[in-house]
Structures are given as structure tokens and as C-alpha cells.
């Protein structure tokens, strides 16, 4: 049994990180008599003079509803170098980190992160260091788990935004466009679009055409609904075109919402407005589901370590938390199945994805 374990949070923050940290500490200390060291600012905090904090049941008291992460996070760092779009993991920072973990007497790590962070965690595992991953991202794009914590809170926020846009759209007979996050997947757009009664949902998995989009706006117009609400994922693609970036050098997605607004305005002569929801989807208190999932993931991660599991990630499958190889989470991102039930149900109730052949569905 480990005497002392470390915990860190990496990548973009997500509501529920503190719920996991709290559950890890309470389980490790209370159930398995381990000590827990928090590592600040992701893996970077292990390098140089390590930035660590001793976590106790008392020090994590009250953090369950708090947004962000008490440990800090980074989504860039020295552990990964991208070469021609492929990640490489240089030996040196990992070597230094392993030596520092030894000095700190940290015998195992619990790593909270998305695909990028978990890929670094896997490198530690490959070098014989015990690691358990906890899947985190508001995008819900991690393979091997049905849900990541943070996702449901992001949907709540996007849904509320759609509700609010709905009333102003109807009052002014406008086309309102809400751009949401999700990287190269449409999970947030699809779920929020269903929950927030969007008329059109644009997701990367179903490239859209303006012909189809305009047809939907005009069909609504002629049936007496003189406004249209569109939710667009930041990674959505127009047929035959690439993704749009707000900062191409940093590969930061963004701008598709404003582009759609401008084109729809030109093509329909209707007034249109765009709202980019941005980091409001990531900040603030987690909802009940994310607090519950984060707590369950945290406790199960410690139990997995205590049971001698390594190189694994906790994952939700069929409503139960299980463990899967970390490599399963990093091998591919989970995209929206375009023939799946949610897309089918959305179409059944009249939501358009603005596919060129939408009328075939
Ligand atoms: O992966 C989470 C996410 O919020 C994405 O939806 C978004 O594209 C990205 O992170 C933005 O990250 P940041 O602003 O931290 O660079």
C-alpha cells in the first residue's frame, strides 16, 4: 500500500475538479491511511523547485461547490513537443520529474485531465511510475467514458444561454447564433441544442451548407415562426471547408459563429446576432451531476490505486465507474455518432443540422 500519493490537474479547467480533489483526499486519508500531496500547475509543478501543498481532509473542506481547481492548471508545458502535428515526449522533463517525485516521496500519481494530460500521464506509467487517470473535459470527447465531469455543467450554461436568446430572438424576429465550445466534436452543441430548443445545430461531425441552413430559416418564416435559434460548435465545418480559428498560430478554434451570422444575414436579409459563450462554459460552480460524478471518480481512482491498479483511467460505462487502460482514452477522440439516437431524435422533432441533403433524413 502506498504511504503517500500525489494529485495534479492538467489542461483547461472544468467544473468538478475540486470535487475530485476532495474525494481523493477524503478516500486516501480516511479509508486507506495515505497522505496526499497536491502538485500545483499541472506537471510543471514537479519541475525545478517543486510547487506542492499538503492536502488534508480539513484543507479540502468546503471546496466541493467551488469552480476551477485549487491546484492550478496549465494547458501548455514542457512535457510535450508537437512535431508536424504529432506529440513527442522528450526524455528530460520526465526524467527530472521522476527524480523529484522520488525526493518528495510521492509513490503514485492521480492525474486529472483530458486527452493531452492523460497522454503525459501514460508516459510516466510507461517508465514504471504508478499512475491513475481521471477523465476531465467540458467537451466530453474522451473515448472510453460515457461522460466526463464538467460536461453537464457546460450544457446547463449553454442551455440557459439558448433560453435567453430564444425570447430576444422571438421579440425581434431575428436569427440568433450561439457559438459553443467542444473542440472538434459537437457534444455540447447537440446536448444544449436539444435542451435549449435550438432550431438548427451545427456540429463538426455533420458538415453544413448555407443552402440548407437558409432553407430552414425561410421555412420557419413561411410557417409563421419569424425567428431562428442556431447553436454552432466552435469546430463546425462548412461543406468543403476547414475549421475556423480565432488564433491560427495557436490552433485556437473560434469565429464560425460570426461567419454564420454574416452569411445568414446576407442570404436571408434577416437581422442576425452572434453570441460566443466562451469560458463561461468552464468557469463557476459545478452542477449536481458533475459534483456527484467527480466525487465518484475521485473515490474510485484511489480505490483502484489501493487495489494495485496502474496505468488505468476511471471511466463511466453503463452508469458504473470502472477502470480502463489510459491508452484507451488517448487513442482517439469520441465524436458524435451521426446515425446515433440523439441526432435521430433531434431530426425527429424538426431540428436541422443543415446538411446539404437534410431533406433525405
Ligand atoms: O477542451 C476544453 C476547451 O474549453 C475547448 O472546448 C476549447 O476549444 C479550449 O478548451 C479552449 O482552451 P483555452 O482557452 O484554455 O486555450
Is 217 touching ligand 1 by the criterion CB < 6 Å?
A: no
Burial of 11 (0-12, 13-18, 19+ CB in 10 A): buried
Same domain, 300 and 269: no
**pLDDT (average), residues 243-270:** 95
Whether the per-residue pLDDT at 360 is higher than 80: the answer is no
**Residue 256 belongs to domain with CATH number:** 3.40.50.460
Q: Helix and strand tally (H, E) in the chain?
A: 10, 15
Ligand 1 midpoint to CA 103 (Å): 34
Q: For position 165, what pLDDT does the model report? A: 98
Same domain, 165 and 236: yes
Same domain, 299 and 274: no
- Model pLDDT for residues 53-93, shown as the tens digit of each residue: 999 999 999 999 999 999 999 988 899 988 887 888 988 89
Same domain, 157 and 133: no
**pLDDT (average), residues 315-328:** 96
**Residue 89 belongs to domain with CATH number:** 3.40.50.450
Cα end-to-end span (Å), the chain: 56
Q: For position 250, what pLDDT does the model report? A: 87
Same domain, 168 and 210: yes
Q: For position 339, what pLDDT does the model report? A: 95
**pLDDT (average), residues 142-155:** 96
What is the best residue among 12, 67, 113, 333 to mutate for testing ligand 1's pocket, by most ligand atoms within 8 Å of CB? 12
What is the best residue among 15, 181, 244 to mutate for testing ligand 1's pocket, by most ligand atoms within 8 Å of CB? 181
**pLDDT (average), residues 40-48:** 97
**pLDDT (average), residues 21-40:** 98
Q: For position 352, what pLDDT does the model report? A: 98
Q: For position 122, what pLDDT does the model report? A: 96
Same domain, 105 and 209: no
Burial of 172 (0-12, 13-18, 19+ CB in 10 A): middle
Q: For position 331, what pLDDT does the model report? A: 83
Residues 322 and 172: their CA atoms lie apart, in Å, by 49
The answer for residues whose C-beta is within 8 angstroms of residue 309's C-beta and 6 or more apart is 132, 323
Same domain, 96 and 193: no
Q: Which domain holds residue 45?
A: 4-137+144-149+286-329
User: Does residue 209 contact residue 356 with C-beta atoms inside 8 Å?
Assistant: yes
User: Does residue 254 contact residue 246 with C-beta atoms inside 8 Å?
Assistant: yes
Tabulate helix, strand, coil % of the chain (nearest 5).
Answer: 40, 20, 40
Ligand 1 midpoint to CA 45 (Å): 21
The grid coordinates listed for 346 are 433531434
Same domain, 95 and 158: no
**pLDDT (average), residues 268-280:** 97
**pLDDT (average), residues 216-222:** 97
Same domain, 292 and 349: no
The grid coordinates listed for 326 are 489510459
| Gyration radius (Cα) of the chain, Å | 22
Ligand 1 midpoint to CA 75 (Å): 9
Number of domains present in the structure of the chain: 2
**pLDDT (average), residues 250-258:** 95
Q: For position 329, what pLDDT does the model report? A: 83
User: Does residue 148 contact residue 140 with C-beta atoms inside 8 Å?
Assistant: yes
- Model pLDDT for residues 202-211, shown as the tens digit of each residue: 999 999 999 9
Is 136 touching ligand 1 by the criterion CB < 6 Å?
A: no
Residues 147 and 149: their CA atoms lie apart, in Å, by 7
**pLDDT (average), residues 285-293:** 98
What is the 3 state secondary structure string of 303-343? HHHHCCCCCEEEEEECCEEEEEEHHHHHCCECCCCCCCHHH
What is the best residue among 136, 139, 333 to mutate for testing ligand 1's pocket, by most ligand atoms within 8 Å of CB? 139
Q: For position 147, what pLDDT does the model report? A: 96
Same domain, 201 and 232: yes
Q: Which is the closest atom of ligand 1 to the Cα of 182?
A: 6
Nearest to 107 by CA among 131, 127, 91: 131
Is 183 touching ligand 1 by the criterion CB < 6 Å?
A: yes
Residues 154 and 283: their CA atoms lie apart, in Å, by 9
Whether the per-residue pLDDT at 336 is higher than 80: the answer is yes
Beta-sheet strand order (sheet of 175-180): 200-202, 228-233, 175-180, 272-276
Same domain, 200 and 214: yes
**pLDDT (average), residues 181-187:** 98
Catalytic sites, residue numbers: 139
Is 139 touching ligand 1 by the criterion CB < 6 Å?
A: yes
Mean pLDDT of the chain: 96
**pLDDT (average), residues 343-353:** 98
User: Does residue 329 contact residue 145 with C-beta atoms inside 8 Å?
Assistant: yes
Amino acid at each position: 500500500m502506498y504511504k503517500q500519493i500525489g494529485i495534479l490537474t492538467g489542461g483547461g479547467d472544468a467544473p468538478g475538479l475540486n470535487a475530485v480533489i476532495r474525494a481523493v483526499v477524503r478516500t486516501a486519508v480516511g479509508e486507506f491511511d495515505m497522505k496526499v500531496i497536491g502538485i500545483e500547475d499541472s506537471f510543471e509543478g514537479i519541475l525545478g523547485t517543486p510547487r506542492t501543498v499538503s492536502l488534508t481532509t480539513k484543507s479540502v473542506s468546503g471546496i466541493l461547490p467551488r469552480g476551477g481547481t485549487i491546484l492550478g492548471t496549465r494547458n501548455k508545458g514542457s512535457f510535450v513537443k508537437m512535431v508536424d502535428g504529432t506529440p513527442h515526449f522528450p526524455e528530460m522533463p520526465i526524467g527530472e520529474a521522476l527524480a523529484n517525485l522520488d525526493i518528495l516521496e510521492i509513490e503514485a500519481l492521480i492525474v486529472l485531465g483530458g486527452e493531452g494530460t492523460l497522454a503525459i500521464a501514460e508516459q510516466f506509467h510507461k517508465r514504471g511510475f504508478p499512475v491513475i487517470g481521471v477523465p476531465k473535459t467540458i467537451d466530453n470527447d474522451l473515448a472510453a467514458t460515457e461522460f466526463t465531469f464538467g460536461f453537464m455543467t457546460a450544457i446547463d450554461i449553454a442551455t440557459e444561454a439558448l433560453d435567453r436568446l430564444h425570447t430576444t430572438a422571438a421579440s425581434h424576429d431575428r436569427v440568433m447564433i450561439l457559438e459553443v465550445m467542444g473542440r472538434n466534436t459537437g457534444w455540447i452543441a447537440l446536448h444544449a441544442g436539444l435542451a435549449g430548443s435550438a432550431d438548427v445545430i451545427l456540429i463538426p461531425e455533420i458538415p453544413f451548407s448555407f443552402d440548407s441552413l437558409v432553407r430552414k430559416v425561410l421555412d420557419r418564416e413561411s410557417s409563421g415562426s419569424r425567428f431562428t435559434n442556431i447553436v454552432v460548435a466552435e469546430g463546425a465545418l462548412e461543406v468543403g471547408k476547414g475549421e475556423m480559428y480565432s488564433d491560427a498560430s495557436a490552433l485556437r478554434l473560434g469565429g464560425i459563429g460570426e461567419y454564420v451570422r454574416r452569411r445568414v444575414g446576407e442570404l436571408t436579409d434577416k437581422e442576425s446576432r452572434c453570441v460566443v459563450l466562451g469560458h463561461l462554459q468552464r468557469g463557476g460552480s459545478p452542477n449536481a451531476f458533475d459534483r456527484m460524478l467527480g466525487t465518484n471518480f475521485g473515490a474510485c481512482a484511489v480505490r483502484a490505486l489501493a487495489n494495485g491498479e496502474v496505468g488505468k483511467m476511471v471511466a463511466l460505462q453503463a452508469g458504473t465507474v470502472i477502470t480502463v487502460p489510459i491508452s484507451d482514452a488517448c487513442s482517439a477522440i469520441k465524436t458524435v455518432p451521426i446515425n446515433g439516437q440523439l441526432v435521430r431524435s433531434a431530426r425527429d422533432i424538426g431540428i436541422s443540422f443543415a446538411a446539404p441533403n437534410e431533406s433525405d433524413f
